[in-house]
Structure 1
């Protein structure tokens, strides 16, 4: 995605949340993030999970909680010392003016970076809430991420709503569209009249190599990550499947031991 954006002469990056987990290459991803130096950064729900898990604050009451916690433990082990504190400092919502337009940027809703209220098939009234953040200036265009679907739609008052999709895990319930597992992102061109161009990009990358890297780097739940590389489907909330992995690899015990060292 980064190489493609350079070929497209992108001169500014906005990051809309969820940087790490469930894959490998933690420090490489962070180094690239710093190289890109986004002018806008907002905090996603998985960024919150990284922070809580890496600080030893995650409970192990449910299989999915163990999943998040053990992956965050992996991030804490493989990332730099300042990475976690950086993620924790990111805001939920940013307003930025470009040309004649004010953009409101959040991972999900301006005050809530989780939940399914903004799934693409939800009522338009849900999306109107993207424009309710406290700001000195009215927002003309809202940008969010979270649901892993590229999207252009309108609020009830016809303000524009955009979603860039997901670089690592694009998703669609329709099988023919779910087959496209390229990295999805969005390029905007803004001129003195407004949105001059909106380009939804799909970029190929070596998913087989990424899958192999998860195994060689001993990422927790590597088998599930490898399945996702083939299907694009996540297993985040499949508690029965996660329970089997947690018991097989003793992930809950590993995390509790890690958390005990953090909370002393």
Structure 2
């Protein structure tokens, strides 16, 4: 069985479109999406519809999907620059995502455990019990070992950290597919993973897909997306931009 693992489009439909073209050449038997379709990019509605069109075997709710559908709490007001940025992204996405799709996002599961071609598999956005857990590629084996609940699990899939990697430890294959829309690992190509499974045998690869970054930036500017300078910096450099003092000239 060939499984495609996608995550973290963050409203970047241009990047997702390129990944979908690449998927046609990979011919996966099933697709899973591990969350964060929306927020921080110009086309959240389009990303939702494109993910739905893939008919994924599973879709997980990401931290930004969760935040968008549960934010802000009554009486809340921003108290930092980051919170002001989140509020602007929230207000933008509210204008571009239907009430029906908002309800759909907010009711997605936060984790799944299932057999994939006889392999016990756990899927998360970030990890068990948290949509915000951070486990980077350079994590220790002890940290890596916190990404599963069940001892019988042999394959763990997650996203969130925007750094793709494949790790082996304590009899488990751990795959982070990276980010399609906003990679932060220095490689600005869209990232996703392919996992080939034959009974208990597994092999994983990270695929990096070039796409029209100028188109994505132009769309963001044409739609007057807030904080477009940070989005442009992220797409060009594949580095985390939020909180940086970026020129608006």
TM exceeds 0.5? yes
Query: Does 123-132 or 207-216 show the bigger shift?
Result: 123-132
Query: What's 1:124 paired with?
Result: 141
RCO comparison, higher one (Cα < 8 Å, 6+): 2
Specify which of 144, 151, 163 is matched with residue 149 of structure 1: 163
Query: What's 1:52 paired with?
Result: 70
Structure of greater Rg = 1
The count of corresponding residues between Structure 1 and Structure 2 is 230
Q: 1:233-244 residue pairs with structure 2 within 5 A?
A: 233-238=239-244, 241=245
Write the deviation string for residues 100-129 of structure 1: whole angstroms up to 9, x where unpaired. 20110001111111143x122222111111
Contact residue 54 and residue 84 of structure 1 kept, 8 A? no
Looking at structure 2, the residues matched to 57 and 44 of structure 1 have their Cα atoms a distance apart, in angstroms, of 24
Query: What's 1:210 paired with?
Result: 216
Write the deviation string for residues 123-167 of structure 1: whole angstroms up to 9, x where unpaired. 21111111226xxx8311111111111111123x23111111111
Query: TM (normalized to structure 1)?
Result: 0.80
Specify which of 40, 52, 58 is matched with residue 34 of structure 1: 52
Unaligned 5+ segments in structure 2 are 1-18
Looking at structure 2, the residues matched to 193 and 169 of structure 1 have their Cα atoms a distance apart, in angstroms, of 33
RMSD of aligned C-alpha atoms?
2.2
Query: TM (normalized to structure 2)?
Result: 0.85
Structure 1's consecutive aligned runs of 4 or more residues displaced over 6 angstroms after TM superposition are 54-57
Contact residue 16 and residue 106 of structure 1 kept, 8 A? yes
Q: Which structure has more helix as a fraction of its residues?
A: 1
Unaligned 5+ segments in structure 1 are 173-177, 246-264
Looking at structure 2, the residues matched to 79 and 124 of structure 1 have their Cα atoms a distance apart, in angstroms, of 40
Contact residue 32 and residue 59 of structure 2 kept, 8 A? yes
Write the deviation string for residues 9-41 of structure 1: whole angstroms up to 9, x where unpaired. 123210111111211122211110110121111
Query: What's 1:183 paired with?
Result: 190
Write the deviation string for residues 181-202 of structure 1: whole angstroms up to 9, x where unpaired. 111111122223432x422111
Looking at structure 2, the residues matched to 234 and 30 of structure 1 have their Cα atoms a distance apart, in angstroms, of 23
